Structures are given as C-alpha cells and as structure tokens.
Structure 1
C-alpha cells in the first residue's frame, strides 16, 4: 500500500536525512523516501493503518527532528490557493529576515569601530541577538526535547562559548555571517529547485472539450475521457495524448523529446500531451486518459526517480549520521581533555574546540550530493531522456558494453515492401494470403504488408489465427491452412523453400503445405545510428547488435553501421536474446546497457545492468521494464546519457573532496591555533553554498551537438 504526503516547513537537507532514518525504524513501513528538493514523502506500507493516527505519528517524528516540520496529504486542487498564499507569506518573511540581518550587520560594524567599553559590548550583543534569536530559540526548544547535535544547538554553544571567553566581536560576527551564509545557501537551493521545476512545467492546466452541440467546455484534464474531442488553439499545451481529426499545425515537442525544431501535425497524426500547439487550431480525439498520458508518465517517472537513490547518496546519508557525533566528541576531548596534558590552559583549548563545533554540520554533503543527481535527472528530462533513479544514473558511469536491438532501435522500424517473389500462382493471390496471416499483427513488418497494394480481406472469413512469437502465424481462411512467417517456421512445418541470395527481411507464404512465394520487406537505418556506434567505439565501448533477421540481412545492416562481424547476432528468437545477453554480460568487466523497443525486448531490458527503451514507438511493457526511456527514439541519446553520467560523477567527487577536504584542513588548523571561528564559518556554510552552486551548474551545462 503506497502513500504520498507533502512536506511542510522542511528547510534542512541534513534534517531530511535524519527524518528518513527515523521513519525507516517504523516496522509497518516497507520503503520510505524523504525528498528534500521535491518536498515529498513517499512510502510503502506493509499493512494498512488508521490514516489519522499514522499521520500523527509521522508528524511527531518530523517535528522532533526539525521543529515545525509536518506532513500533509498530497496537495489537491482545492488547497492550491492556500499554498499560493503561504508562498506569499514566505516571501514576506524572507524580506523581513533580510531587513533584520541588515540591521544586525550594521550594528556589528558600528560596534567594531568603538573602543573597548560597555557600550561596545552592548551593541555587539544586540547585533548577535537580532541576527541569531531564531537560532537560540530553536536550540532551546531542541534541548528540551533531548536533541543536542543539530546545527542550531552547536552554533549556539559555539557563540555563547565565545562570549564566555570574552570574544564578543567574534561571537556576534560568527552568528551574523552564519545567518548570511544560510540565507545564500537557501537561495541557491531554491534557485536549483525552481530550475528543475521549470524543466518539468509541462503539466496542462485545462482542456477544451467539444460538446455534442458544438460548444466548448473548459475542464480539468484529469476528468477528460478516452474518445472525447478536444480543441487545441495556437499557443496552448496539448492536454492529453490523442490523434488529430481536423486541422493542421506545427507542434513544439522540445519539453518532451528535446527536439528543438517544431514538427508538422496533420490529420491522423498522433500528438502527445505536454507538446505546444504553435500555429493552427486542431481537433484531437483523446486516445489515453490523463493517468496514462505521456505528460503524466513523465512527471511520475521524474518525481519517483528520487526514491531510487544512488550508492553515493546512501553513503552520504549514512556518513552524516556518524560524522557529527564523532566531531563533537573530538571537540570535547580538545576542550576538556587536552588542557590536562598539554600546555595552554582551558581557555585556549576551549576556544579551539569551538571551531570543531562550528564545522561539525555535514550540510555541504547532504545538500549537494542529492542535488547533483536531482539536477542531472532534471536536465536529462529536458533532453527527452527519462532516467528512473539516481541508482541507474550512477551505473551509467561504469559501462563497457552497449547491446542494441535492430528493428525500431538502430533502424526506423518503418518497413516497406521492397519486392514480391512468386513461385506458384499470381502475385495478388500471394499478397492476399500474406495479409490474412498478418491481419491481426501489430508488428511493423505485418503492418507494412497490410498497407501494401489494394487487396482487401474479409475478416469474417478468417476461421482461426494462431501466432508463434518470433516464428510466424498459422491461420485458417475459407478452410485453407495458411502459414506466414520465417524460413525456420516453414521448415518446422516440413515446407521446403528455395534459397535466396538477396538480403532483407523475408516473409514466406504457404497454403495447404504448398510454398507460394516470399515477400521482401526493407527497413531504413536511422540517421544518427552510425554516428552513435562510432562514438561508442571511440570511447572503448564494445557494441553488439541483436536481431531476428537472417545472417545475410543482419550482417549487411551491421557492416553498414560499422559493427564488428563477430558482434552481429542474427536468427534470434526472444528467448535467444536472453541467453545471448547473459553470454555478453559474462564477458563484460564493468556494465552492460541494452537498448530496445518491442514487447520481445522486455526480458532483456530488465536483465541488463541498465535497460534503455524507446518511448516514442516502444511498447508499454518495454518502457515499464527499462531503467531509462528515450522519448524521441534517437540512439544518439545513449552518448548524451553516458556524458551526463560522467559529468554527474565528476561533480559528486568534486563536492565530496572539496567539502571534506576543507573541513579536515580547518579542523587541523583550528587545533594548531591558526584557524579561528571566522574560517570555521566558511568551512560550514561557505562550503555548502559553493557545493550547491557546483551541483546546480549541471542544469546550465549546454547540450553537446
């Protein structure tokens, strides 16, 4: 049983990790994900519980970790106005905070200009109180709840300790610049969140439904039914997936597929929800309800991506739980233990211990590492690549083999009949029997045969139809047994077929155990396929192609694409693809990607280290079985996601190295008496701001052409 809640008043990435850690302890919860950036809690229950009591329990945990934080049921249309009002209130609070900080900073500067006196101390205390009153209140509140190791308590102890030691200016300055750093940190995080939200702002707000009397009714897209007729005007977003039944226009698909050039949409063309109608008014017949539409699935995939965390994210969350207590213990040893064995006295070593307390918060890590993955997944969605989780993005950095399905992946999957070879009877008769066999087919080859020529079939005369996946079809028509399929299918039915010297996909036709002839069907290679394979090989990645085609056809396509002959695998049935991928994976030293589009690819997509499906022409089961979905079916997107994975890994390593490196150096300098509380503040909030900015740069990286 799955539940989803909005998270309110959560302002700390470290606190989000602590809340998740506490929720993980609840035995009734199977899986839980607290997402700091989307402000959503998603969990799976082992057994149903009373909603009110359960929510009360969750809110008690959240409030204990970060006072004021609570969960509420997923936002509905009715309370969106309340949320909007709350956002206005938060903006006003932010303005007030800026004013208070400015006054505090001004008092601090004035205090520094004065000579040592009671007046100077009072002004510095006022500056401290104005700037840090909320920190002190939170620390006191947490202390009453038995919570000692949060950043508010540690900052309060460090600055109060400075006052006790007589360092009034340092205490006030540290608190002021800590608050300024926190303000810029929040601003950087919010800007990153807004950038990602903008990337995902594809949800339609309304749909113009055409009523039976010709009038229009504006309704919520979620209330539109399959079969309804929609009017989409120029400049409007297409609300649901459908087919154009009237009018023509140009359509902007950039938000879904990353394609910058608008495409022409005419009658009978399919249009996807989330696209923008640029020119003419069109009428669309809805083919999928909102929950199954493209825009809904994209938003759901991206939002759920946060629940599938990478190992780096899990490590940082676990590391943060131990890091702060260890640093606090070291601070106690320095402040209370070293004066007993080392010269300098308690005042000196207490001062140095305070530095440890200030830099003990691991915010730079718990904020920047998840944000890096969050930014990468958001950036990928803008390019028409849906990555279902940070764990899959992490796997993509260690790939040495890419395995492609042929049809619909490296080729367009738009077959056309190239040649008909008749051995008995007439061409019209051969085509008729071939169409009977393919009458119920959804395969591109079957559709190509059905769309060829003017021969029509009476469905009522089809008395039986049995398809054997990967082989062919056995049909009964006017008491005649018809076989349509591969050469192997014919041989299995004891029908001899002449050898063919031509390449291409061949469909054999027989009636009442007598071979009539064969139909050659041709596919077209995608424009970017060869470029993709060349770049993969240039990166040292082995490329394989799997196909059900005969060896001659498979080798011809593979050689044209530049795939090595020993890596072209032909005559494969669906079950053969599984065993072949197992064989390929056994040779791989790092990881394997499988790229496919059809129903037959679902098992291998699920089995690969990373399964990549084609979202435009791919089957629903293939998309569900995959880890990455390419919305415009362009194989070159494989290069883009590998580059993105490497950039993501680079930024994660930069932030971890930078954050830990600076903190460790400042700790050592603090013990040696070189660093002061000012430098410690930089090691805390300063490093956090820089790490967040570094993580968010992924959103600004230009797409490589």
Structure 2
C-alpha cells in the first residue's frame, strides 16, 4: 500500500470511529453536529477541494462535483428540517472514499503486473579492463564490445556468446519458467538472467536498440493508445454527467412547483432529498474507473504471459480476429535452414557449395547462413565483386572473376538458363557458372514444435481461417501447410505479392485479420493488416516496430492465448457496462419515485463500482487461458 493509500485508510478509520461514537453514545445537539461535521470534513475535504478547483477551471461536471453537491445538499436539508442527522452525508463520502481506495489498490495491482517488466532493465554492464571487471553504464557500451555476465546477473545488451556456456532465465521476457541453454555462437537477448556459468558476449546492438529497451518503450507507451470502448466512455461521461445534474435540478424544482400550482403543499424537502439521491446514484465512477482498469488489467495479464500489446485499441481489435495469416519462415518454421542435399553436374560438390557460399556472403538471409555453414571454409569477401541482389529471385556476382548466379528457378528463367527439376521437399537453390547450369542445393527448414498445436488452438479460439504466405516453392509450401493443417496457402510470393494477398483477404474477411511475421520484408504487411503480430525474440527490429502485438518467445501457440486474453478482457468490459448502466438506471427510476433512499444510492454508486472493479481485475488472471 502506498503512502497516499495509507493516509486515506487512516481518514476512513477516523471517520468511522467518530460516527460510531455518535451513534453508540447517542450524542445529539450541538456536540453531535460538531462530531458529524468533523467526520465529514476529515473524509471529504479533498473531494470538496477538487470540486471547487473544477468549478474555477470550468471543468464542473465530474464525480467530485456530484459528491460535493449531493453531500452538502444533504447537510443543508438536515439543517432545514432541523433533524440534526447528518449520517447520510457522512456515509456517502465515507463509502465513496472506501470505493476510491479499493479502486486505487486494484489499479496499482494491475500497474505492478506491467511495471514488473521494468525489473528487466539492467543497471550495469561488466567490461574487462586490465584483468579486472569494471561496471559501466549499458548506454556507454559500443557495438562489438565484449561484456562479461556472471551468474545471477541480467544480460544488459543483445549479443553473441563468444566464450562459456550457461542456462538463461527468460521468465521476465516470455512468461515461461523453463530455462534456456546458451553456448558459444548462440544469440542472446538483453533482459534474461544468467543462472549458472560465466558468459562472454560480443554485443550486436547499442543499448537504445536492444530488446530490453524496445520492450520498456512498448510498455511505457501502451496506455496512450485508447480503445473505442474507452473513448466512448470518456465522451459518454462528458455528456452524461451534465445531463443527470440537469435532471436532478428538474426533479428538485419541477414537482414542487407543479404541486404549488395545483394548490397543494410544495413538499420541497422530499423532492430535494430525491434529487440528491438521484445525484449520488448517477455518479459514473463504475464506468469511468472500471472500463480503463479492465483494459489495463488485460494488458498486464498479456505482458505476464509474454505477449506485449501496444495499446488497448489493439487488444480490442485482436478480440475480433477471424482470419490469421502467417508468413511461413520464422513463424511456423524455425527459420533455421540446413543443407540436406547437393546435386551437381560435373563440378565437385565442395566447389558447388564454395561458389554458392561466396556469392551469398554479403546477404544476411538465413539461406545464405546455411550455405556458408555447409561450405565450412573461410569466406574471403575480396574474391567476390559485382554483387547484385534481385528481390524474390536470388543473387548474381563475380567470384574470382567468374560469373555466378545463385537463386530459385525464377532467377534461372530470368537469365535464360535451363534448370533441372527436383522432387525433394525443401528450398531448392539453383547454381549457374558462366551462364551454364552447375547444379542445385536442397535446403530444408524445420517446423516449430508447437506450430501444429498453434493452428489447432486458433481454431478452438474461434478463428475461422488460417492462411500461410511464403516465397518458397509450391511443393514445400503445400507440404508444410498439409502437415500443420493450414486452411489456405500461397507460395512463390515476392514481398509485394504478400501485401496484395493480404489486401485480397481483407476485402473478403468477415471480421478482423491478423498477420504474423518476423522478417524485415514483413513490415509492410504487418502495417497493412488489421492487427500485426511480430515474433519478438528473434524477429527483426522493423517487424517489431511495425507490429501491434509482439510475442516475446517466438512461440506461435501464444497467438491463440493472446486472442483468448483479449476476448476475456472485452467480455469483462461489456459485463461492467451492462451491469453498471442497468443497476444505475433501475436505481435512478426508483430514486425519482422516492422508493430508493440515500443508502440505496450509496450501493448504486460505491457498491456497483467495487463489484465492477473486482470484475475488472479478473483480466489479470490469464495463466489457464
């Protein structure tokens, strides 16, 4: 509990004690009045101050104004009727503050679920100087530096392990407690906790561009993106509050005036009391507080599950997803390519791999990496000149002065080179030397362990269609789609073709469309889809920047969980809207008729708010979704 919350709690206790003393000892007269007014000022002085400031600033109609008018009016009515009973006025303020304290605690709990991620921010990085470890600010570590991470320390920057092996705790990033092994050559991301061995890591990104910085930026900005429901409630409150104030004024004045015209007693006290009850009932706290809290709790629950949603508007869109489109490589497959076959004409196998690896040495594509691994020799870039990358086709270059073309069948057709068909399942890389076909290399990608389960989980979550887009050849794409149970597949696509396919699917979709990708080529499609989902752990910065939702552990199974979280959150929002408006509407009618008194009004305001807040924080519970 914060210092401010403790202060409010003590004021609540002090007020309750004063009221109890007055009632238990039946203190009346001047003494009773003084004690009641003291209790009222103790519990309500801040509400009165906020209401007065609102009037001065021209921002009159809010819950503070309603509470102030209702309670001051109740005190004035007690004075007018000479009843000396100010309990209702004190009780309205007392229970309102109890509700506010409860709401503050619930918001704090939701906020802590998100800001707990701030613990992943590293305080320092270890640099070895003269045989000693020196702690420096992570911002001061240059790309390419060697840092040392000891057991129990956070990895401060993204990089590659150059020495040592260990297990890493990724729970703060992914929500998963299962540790991951790290050894020489493995990429590691900032924010993980080193559990066992000492690691030396060569940094690959500056701190401002590291995974941990990106996550913190996403979390800090998530509350600025409001959902349609939140915007509606804000606009609703601006219209609703003045309307009920006018309604209360009419209720207080019109019936007595009509009675006087009819020759009857005005009975002003009764109608003013009903109007004050009407004001307390109409306070929009339950809606204004519980709706944003529901979304905030939903964002917090998602972050605890390793799913970062950039705002409540994206959470709302995600809940309406009916079509999920995947880019194959890196999302449904691991994006780790291995050479599984080399078919050559007269040239030796080793030479085929050497030409292919050298020609591709300037590329960062996973296929290029796999060719270089398969070759296994030293890559001397001075041997390579005139490199030209043809998007969606491949690469042409000169290796030792020899013209080399490495790519798919489209590249061979483009160059007018006859190529041999291959019936192997995998990506086929064709090679031509000096305009003559030299053979082809079979490279296979591996399906992710949870990919098939992820597709099935999406169907159970209510997704009507799953689609896979890939630049791979049709035979490989169809094989993967059939293995995973994907509904629709489109292969041999260029980046522009993927955008066109998404445009077509958007025009035909009954509901929202989500696109899942991880590569830099996916950024345009991620931006075009209704909701873009990026693989965060190994995805490109461009994809993460363009996406609306980021999966921190690259597990496609989390997509269905994210959808279920969003739908639970929206269900809670609608429950609170219907419940709050229903109870308040009923009590307003009963209050106007004189059936509901001030105690019923307290329940309609504070009771409804507490129930709505309790319901809202259920959005934090996502473990079993």
Verify same fold: TM over 0.5.
Answer: yes
2:114–2:303 Cα contact (<8 Å) kept: no
Are 1:180 and 2:98 an aligned pair?
Answer: yes
Residue correspondence of structure 1 range 431-470 to structure 2 within 5 A: 431-470=353-392
Shift of 1:277: 1.3
1:210–1:231 Cα contact (<8 Å) kept: yes
Shift of 1:265: 1.6
Deviation per residue, 1:539-597 (Å, 9 max, x gap): 35211111122222211111111224xx2211212221121222222221111111112
Counterparts of 1:119 and 1:659 in 2: how far apart (Å)? 39
2:166–2:195 Cα contact (<8 Å) kept: yes
Shift of 1:473: 0.8
Residue correspondence of structure 1 range 314-353 to structure 2 within 5 A: 314-341=231-258, 345-353=267-275
Counterparts of 2:285 and 2:113 in 1: how far apart (Å)? 21
Distance 1:381 1:191, change over 3 A: closer
Deviation per residue, 1:54-103 (Å, 9 max, x gap): xxxxxxxxxxxxxxxxxxxxxxxxxxxxxxxxx9xx61x54444334323
Counterparts of 2:397 and 2:343 in 1: how far apart (Å)? 21
- In structure 2, the partner of 1:532 is 454
Shift of 1:142: 4.4
Residue correspondence of structure 1 range 298-697 to structure 2 within 5 A: 298-341=215-258, 345-538=267-460, 539-564=462-487, 567-697=488-618
Counterparts of 1:408 and 1:148 in 2: how far apart (Å)? 54
In structure 1, the residue corresponding to 2:396 is in which secondary structure?
A: strand
Shift of 1:451: 0.6
Counterparts of 2:58 and 2:541 in 1: how far apart (Å)? 51
TM-score, normalised to structure 1, is: 0.83
1:199–1:379 Cα contact (<8 Å) kept: no
Counterparts of 2:10 and 2:376 in 1: how far apart (Å)? 79
Counterparts of 2:175 and 2:255 in 1: how far apart (Å)? 60
221, 233, 240: which one pairs with 2:157?
240
1:463–1:476 Cα contact (<8 Å) kept: yes
Are 1:101 and 2:12 an aligned pair?
Answer: yes
Shift of 1:144: 4.8
Counterparts of 1:419 and 1:198 in 2: how far apart (Å)? 48
1:308–1:391 Cα contact (<8 Å) kept: yes
Are 1:111 and 2:22 an aligned pair?
Answer: yes
Counterparts of 1:238 and 1:457 in 2: how far apart (Å)? 30
Deviation per residue, 1:426-458 (Å, 9 max, x gap): 222222221222121211112111110445443
1:431–1:455 Cα contact (<8 Å) kept: no
Counterparts of 1:493 and 1:514 in 2: how far apart (Å)? 10
In structure 2, the residue corresponding to 1:452 is in which secondary structure?
A: helix
Counterparts of 1:596 and 1:265 in 2: how far apart (Å)? 25
- In structure 2, the partner of 1:198 is 116
Distance 1:455 1:174, change over 3 A: closer
Counterparts of 2:115 and 2:379 in 1: how far apart (Å)? 51
2:305–2:623 Cα contact (<8 Å) kept: no
Shift of 1:335: 0.4
2:111–2:296 Cα contact (<8 Å) kept: no
2:63–2:285 Cα contact (<8 Å) kept: no
2:114–2:299 Cα contact (<8 Å) kept: no
Distance 1:454 1:301, change over 3 A: closer
Shift of 1:314: 1.0
1:185–1:685 Cα contact (<8 Å) kept: no
Q: Which runs of 5+ in 2 are unaligned?
A: 79-84
2:531–2:547 Cα contact (<8 Å) kept: yes
Counterparts of 2:241 and 2:8 in 1: how far apart (Å)? 28
Shift of 1:152: 3.2
- In structure 1, the partner of 2:82 is none
Count of residues in Structure 1 that have an aligned counterpart in Structure 2: 612
1:544–1:568 Cα contact (<8 Å) kept: yes
- In structure 2, the partner of 1:219 is 136
- In structure 2, the partner of 1:209 is 127
Distance 1:118 1:516, change over 3 A: same
Backbone CA RMSD of aligned residues: 2.1
Counterparts of 1:97 and 1:498 in 2: how far apart (Å)? 80
Counterparts of 2:476 and 2:300 in 1: how far apart (Å)? 40
Distance 1:101 1:548, change over 3 A: closer
262, 267, 273: which one pairs with 2:184?
267
Distance 1:227 1:554, change over 3 A: closer
Structure ranking higher on relative contact order (CA contacts 8 Å, 6+ apart)? 2
Shift of 1:170: 1.8
Counterparts of 1:234 and 1:285 in 2: how far apart (Å)? 17
- In structure 2, the partner of 1:74 is none
TM-score, normalised to structure 2, is: 0.93
Deviation per residue, 1:387-436 (Å, 9 max, x gap): 12221111111122111111111111111111111123222222222122
Are 1:125 and 2:37 an aligned pair?
Answer: yes
Distance 1:134 1:301, change over 3 A: closer
Counterparts of 1:129 and 1:365 in 2: how far apart (Å)? 27
In structure 2, the residue corresponding to 1:190 is in which secondary structure?
A: helix
1:387–1:393 Cα contact (<8 Å) kept: yes
Counterparts of 2:397 and 2:97 in 1: how far apart (Å)? 77
